[in-house]
Amino acid sequence: MSTALQSSMTDRVDTDSAVAWKGKLQHSKPRLLLLLNDDAYFRVHRLQHARAARNAGMEVLVCTRADDDGKWIKDEGFTYLPIPFVKEGRQPLQELLGVFKLAKLYRQEKPDIVHHLCMKPILYGSSAARLAGIPAVVNTFTGLGFVFMKNGWRSRVLRAALVPSLRWAFGHPNCRAVFENSADRERLIYAKIVRRERTLIISGTGVDIGKFMPMAEEEETPIVVLACRMLWDKGVADFVEAARLLKKQNVAVRCVLVGMPDPGSPTSSAEERLLSWQQERVVEWWGYREDMPRILRSAQVVVLPSFYEGLTTILLEACASARPVVTTAIPGCQAVVRDGENGFLVPVKDPGALARAIKVLLENPALRTRMGTRGREIVVREFSLGRVTKQVITVYRELLDNVCSV
């Protein structure tokens, strides 16, 4: 049996046996509501977890934004609920109204457990859950965002305004705060926003190691890929500058950006800037792509010069595809990339160091192979979809057991 097939088999999720729930649940089946910013994130990162929850005997409701009125979500057998607030909202009264609308939705749907994913759903959903008396809450932090990670005056003012309300919102007696790295967890514990005993670390959303698999490199001009939302905080401009340095050194390479701007983020790169870089022929911009396994197999090196991360999926997918990675020495990236083993760690905002690390890998095929093999081993052992999904379902079961035992 091949190593790849063995790895895929060990990644299966044993959640097919439904639990016989009893006690004070409001429905014949536990009702799980997932709150997310958009359906694209749900499809890519949480669909398998939702399927596993259903297989474990739960009714799944998905509250998000979808262009097709949630048709594909309904076709999956889940209940679709339009999200009652705007991701890009900036007006305080409108934002407060969004919380009350969400609390009203929670009272109408009566979920036994809600799972908030990403920062705005966490901020709104935690308050709404307490107002609506939801029995169990999970908040998954995929990163802390500019409010917690930056030290400018605007961030400091927002933190000072948010912290008291966050302490109340996150003070639910039957909740768990899930982090992707220990640094983010310690930051919120230190600020007394969450209590340590109600926190845990789950490393990302898991990688389908049967979908992202090693393949031989293609014999053509090497490709270096940065795949992410096109944000300054992801290091997009640093990657472009590194590409310029490599071009000046006559290094044969195609530097590729994959992803779209995010108008809802204050650090989004303008589409005009991306097009100008492409016209300059320093990078190629491929826009949004759904065929990420194919993109990663076409690359010799994958980079992510981010300023801060929770635990980013693209690094895990690259390692699962046996591709070496160059990323920044920050907690979320260090959890995946071990410097010199499966890639290189470089300082934040240092295009020169980024270019040097890329060049070393491009000039050493044997090193790329060794690092790629090691990266695959790390993902299979620590970050597979099966492993992470089991951890998520365990959290649901523990919180629902608490509800039933009251």
What distance in Å separates the CA atoms of residue 265 and residue 331, rounded to the nearest whole number? 22
CA gap 396, 276 in Å, rounded: 47
The pLDDT confidence band at residue 4, using thresholds 50, 70 and 90, is very low
**For residues 194 and 130, what is the distance between their CA atoms, to the nearest angstrom?**
15
What is the C-alpha to C-alpha distance for residues 319 and 342, in angstroms, rounded to an integer?
8
pLDDT tens readout for residues 194-215: 899 999 999 888 999 999 999 9
What does the pLDDT read at residue 9? 39
3-class secondary structure, 140? strand
Distance (Å, rounded) from C-alpha 305 to C-alpha 123? 27
Confidence (pLDDT) at 344: 98
pLDDT in tens, 155-175: 666 666 677 777 887 889 999
Torsion angle, CA of 96/399/390/316, rounded to 10 degrees? 30
Distance, C-alpha 361 to centroid of its chain: 27
SS (H, E, C) 231-242: EHHHCHHHHHHH
Q: Fill in the amino acid letter for 188.
A: L
**In angstroms, rounded to a whole number, what is the distance separating the alpha carbons of residues 204 and 383?**
7
pLDDT tens digits along 234-261: 999 999 999 999 999 999 999 999 999 9
pLDDT of 113: 97
pLDDT in tens, 356-395: 999 999 999 999 999 999 999 999 999 999 999 999 999 9
Identify which has the larger pLDDT, 284 or 192: 284
Distance CA 149, CA 142 (A): 13
Band of pLDDT at residue 17, cut at 50, 70 and 90: very low
Q: Exposure pattern of 181-193 as b/e (b: 16+ CB <10 Å)?
A: bebbbebbbeeeb
pLDDT band at 118 (very low <50, low <70, confident <90, very high): confident
Vertex 284 angle, CA 282 and 286, to 5° = 160
Structure-block tokens of residue 201: 């670390």
pLDDT of 20 over the 60 cut: no
Buried/exposed code over 24-34 (b: 16+ C-beta within 10 A; e: otherwise): ebeeebbbbbb
Q: Per residue in 87-117, pLDDT tens?
A: 555 556 666 788 899 999 999 999 999 999 9
Side chain identity at residue 311, one-letter code: L
What pLDDT sits at residue 6?
A: 38
Angle between helices 153-169 and 119-132 (to 10 degrees): 30
Question: pLDDT value at position 158?
Answer: 66
**What mean pLDDT comes out for the span 249-276?**
91
Greater model confidence, 305 or 95 = 305
Write down all domains in the chain, each with its CATH number in brackets. Answer: 12-18+28-206+384-405 (3.40.50.2000), 223-382 (3.40.50.2000)
| Residue 308: closest CA among 278, 328, 286 | 328
Higher pLDDT pick, 143 / 293? 293
Contacts of 245 (CB under 8 A, 6+ apart): 351, 352, 355
Q: Please report the beta strands in 202-319, taking only residues with DSSP state E, as ranges in sequence order.
A: 223-227, 254-258, 284-285, 301-304
Instruction: Give the span between the Cα atoms of 319 and 312, in whole angstroms.
Output: 12
Highest mean pLDDT: which range of 23-37, 70-84, 299-313: 70-84
Q: What is the pLDDT of residue 168?
A: 82
**At residue 329, does pLDDT exceed 70?**
yes
Q: Are 32 and 53 in contact (CB under 8 A)?
A: yes
pLDDT of residue 193: 87
H helix or E strand, kind and range, residue 179: strand 175-179
pLDDT at 13 over 70: no
